[in-house]
Chains A and B, each alone.
Chain A
Amino acid sequence: MNRYYWILGAFAALVALLAVGLNLNPRDVPSPLVGKPAPAFNLNVLATPEKTLAPKDMLGKVWLLNVWSSWCISCRQEHPVLVEFSRKVDVPLIGLNYKEVRGDGEFDMSKMPADEEKKLAFQRANQWLAQHGNPYTLTVMDIDGRVGIDYGVYGVPETYVIDKAGTIRMKHTGPISPEVLTTKIMPLLAELNK
């Protein structure tokens, strides 16, 4: 009889292990970039295409980098949260528009010249912000997604918290919910701005 208890115990342990494993979010991949300097870029600004922005322009400020796109469905879900955030909180929120045209899948990119893609990307991004509200201090355009690769972007939306020294302090993959904002992002911003 005794050894059946042992088998039952082993089975219960296995069930517990599987229950924990199945409740983990496989999309929650820890970013190796946390604690590292924000990768450099120099991208055109959406509102003023003749100007560019680089992360070093933001040194001395705590800021958020939010990766978005007009074709990204989850971005619509988080957008009101960002709009609300930008009204209440005085922290620069920089948008990184990721593969606005070629990421959509609606276009045959082999037939589209680069200048046409650029024009269309600016037009679509502007239109989307006009329609849904613009929470961004400014948005930069990552038309070919090259900067996205440097930031390890694999699912839009993603959000990075970057400190005064230009170090990434947090990465959130997926839409920001009001809970994530109040329980994780806001306390971190308060701490970094101390």
Chain B
Amino acid sequence: MKRHLLIALLVLGSCFGSSIAIADEANEAAVAADPVAEKRLQGLSEELRCLVCQNQTIADSNAELAQDLRHEIRIMIKEGKSDKEIVDFMVARYGDFVLYRPPVKGITLLLWGGPLALMLFGLFALQRYLRRRNARLNAEDQPLSAADSSRADALLKESEQK
């Protein structure tokens, strides 16, 4: 039981912790000019989905809309807007879909809770199966009845004689 849990946790863990960064000439120049702002831009745009390519962040995508939005974020950073204000700006225009981490609310509950519920269900089913299997094996381990035992002895003797 414990070993199964460990494996499950290891598999879960390997799903996290990968990120990609892009660097083109324009970006490099901008980073040199203001490294702090660019670091914020990078962080923010990794949280935001590019709606044109849908499976890329604004940081990864070179679609024109992504470039425009990076430009827009740069301006907002210069204006001294907070991260929350910038993210709210995007959500107001493109909806929760732009967020790679959608907020927990009624409509996204299945999205957030689904995997956990599935894992709990799997663990529950596994535990039930193992318990039944144990019970079955234990039941089969009963010592032989007197009649069966004498029959087994007779069979063994027969095979020895051959």
Of the candidates B52, B69, B94, the one having the most CB atoms from chain A within 10 angstroms of its own CB is B94
Of the candidates A31, A32, A154, A155, the one having the most CB atoms from chain B within 10 angstroms of its own CB is A154
Inter-chain residue pair count (beta carbon < 8 A): 37
B93 touches A26 (CB 8 A): no
Name which of A57-65, A87-95, A123-131, A143-151 contacts chain B: A143-151
Known: A154-B51, A154-B52, A155-B52. A30 touches B68 (CB 8 A): no
Q: Determine chain A's interface SS by DSSP, over half rule.
A: loop
Number of interface residues of A (CB under 8 A): 17
Residues of B in contact with A, size category: 10 to 19
The complex places the Cα of A92 from the Cα of B91 at a distance, in Å, of 29
Known: A154-B65, A155-B52. A29 touches B97 (CB 8 A): yes
Q: Determine chain B's interface SS by DSSP, over half rule.
A: helix
Given contacts A29-B95, A32-B93, 8 further A-B contacts (CB under 8 A): A27-B54, A32-B91, A33-B92, A149-B69, A150-B93, A154-B52, A155-B51, A155-B52
Q: Which residues of A contact B (CB under 8 A)?
A: 26-27, 29-33, 99, 103, 105, 145, 149-152, 154-155
